[in-house]
Chains A and B, each alone.
Chain A
Amino acid sequence: MITTDICIIGAGPVGLFAVFEAGLLKMRCHLIDALPQVGGQLSEIYPQKPIYDIPGYPEVKAQELVDNLMQQIAPFKPTFSLGERVEVLEQQEDKSYLVQTNEGTQVRCQVVVIAGGLGCFEPRKPEIVGLEQFEGKGVGYMVKNPELLRDRRVVLAGGGDSALDWTIFLASVAKEVTLIHRSDSFRGAPDSAEKVFELAQEGKINLILNSNIRAIHGNGHLQEVIVEGKDKVQSSLKADHLVALFGLTPKLGPIANWNLAIDKSAIKVNTEDYSTNVERIYAIGDINTYPGKLKLILCGFHEAALMCQSAFKYVYPSQKLSFKYTTVNGAPGF
């Protein structure tokens, strides 16, 4: 069990900056994020895009901003659980919270801060009849352990980098690899696309272009994939595994089950301190909503600062909070 003062759900720019503001008030933070790396949307969706509206930076690349934030919060020694999704928030008798993830990690904290952005990034699922009934029974949306595919018949679907990369990798691992793509050209890295075409010519993989998966069949486990070409002709493929690689899409996820006031996939907050309708739970950044809300990183930073001033009373109930400037006090770490 991890014990901390504030558990921050979401390690995007706003969640990261909250660590700094909390640190100035001597509050320790643990961050949990469903993605395997910090930075949220910035690292996952647009790491190389320039941002122009961060005060003090005429222009900064998204990933550079994340790297700088990590440097800025380092003195406050935040801890992280990455690649894990928070499933349950449970208030204890002493009013503290127990936060539990899908991987079984438990965090005991006085305050929960939801900085979840647009929610959890989850794999985009194709519309295939019967898909969900075979999830975990041959159907997956990522390759976690390629060894599990050794000597199996694997069908991959998609046209991006991950579909190409896994096709190339699995060509020498799996018994049979088939890549299905809806058009006849790939938008992934040209080198990878060329390699995939080469492997197909050498007969090391099956490449089915201009086609979509229409249905899947099996008996408790995936056995067959039905593919339909642009000409509407269907064909059957024997398969042990289907990996659909169509990128990630954000979903609100378990946040919807925490008794929070929600309006259009966003958590309603009080703008005095960005508290939610549940005591000790705050929501900052893109995940919250209030009259006049703007989904800007700089607004999220402001929200993080005010949230910490309010959260202090739960972490140090017997202390009086005195506001100090970093120009006077510096930012002494832990």
Chain B
Amino acid sequence: MIQFIVEDRDGTRRPVEIPEGMGLNLMEVLKASEYNILATCGGMALCATCHVHILEGEDKLPPVSDAELDILDTLPSAHANSRLACQLRVEETIEGAVFQIAGEEN
């Protein structure tokens, strides 16, 4: 199992557990876990509505791709720890990380 923590917009933190090898990205897992995320473009790194801040565990994550940076740059609220949940695969690199939901509400 892969476990990580999600902090919702109101500050509540909840652990999320996902079996390994499901081939899902973080956006899909957050949506399936009933988090209020728009994910307009469906995972193409085009809309930035699945924006998350990495509060802990940033160093273990794979680097940001150019396509992801392109879109993050259009976000006025982006910080140095901003990522698009749809571009993060749910695998051991995110074990123990803390994600804060930052995208617009549905």
Measured CA separation A125–B75 after assembly (Å): 9
> With A46-B44, A46-B46, A250-B40 given, is the CB distance from A264 to B106 under 8 Å?
yes
Contacts of A160 in B (CB 8 A): 70, 73-74
Q: Does B94 contact A (CB under 8 A)?
A: no
Contact of B76 among A41, A127, A187 (CB under 8 A): A127
Contact of A249 among B42, B49, B73, B106 (CB under 8 A): B49
Give chain A's interface residue range (CB within 8 Å of chain B): 20 to 34
Q: Does A23 contact B (CB under 8 A)?
A: no
Measured CA separation A246–B104 after assembly (Å): 14
* Chain A interface SS verdict (over half): loop
Q: Does B78 contact A (CB under 8 A)?
A: yes
Contact B46 A124 (CB under 8 A): no
Measured CA separation A182–B72 after assembly (Å): 10
Measured CA separation A49–B70 after assembly (Å): 16
Give 1 or 0 for each of A46-80: 1 = CB within 8 Å of chain B CB: 10010000000000000000000000000000000
Q: Does B33 contact A (CB under 8 A)?
A: no
Contact A45 B41 (CB under 8 A): yes
Chain A's closest residue to B42 (CB) is A295
- Which of the listed residues B40, B48, B69 has the most CB atoms from chain A within 10 Å of its own CB? B40
Contacts of B46 in A (CB 8 A): 45-46
Give B23-42 interface residues, CB cut-off 8 Å to A.
Answer: 38, 40-42
List the interface of chain B (C-beta within 8 A of A).
38, 40-42, 44, 46-49, 66, 69-70, 73-78, 104, 106
Contacts A246-B76, A249-B47 aside, 14 further interface pairs with beta carbons under 8 A come to A45-B44, A46-B44, A124-B75, A127-B77, A128-B76, A157-B76, A158-B74, A160-B73, A183-B73, A212-B76, A246-B74, A246-B75, A247-B74, A249-B49
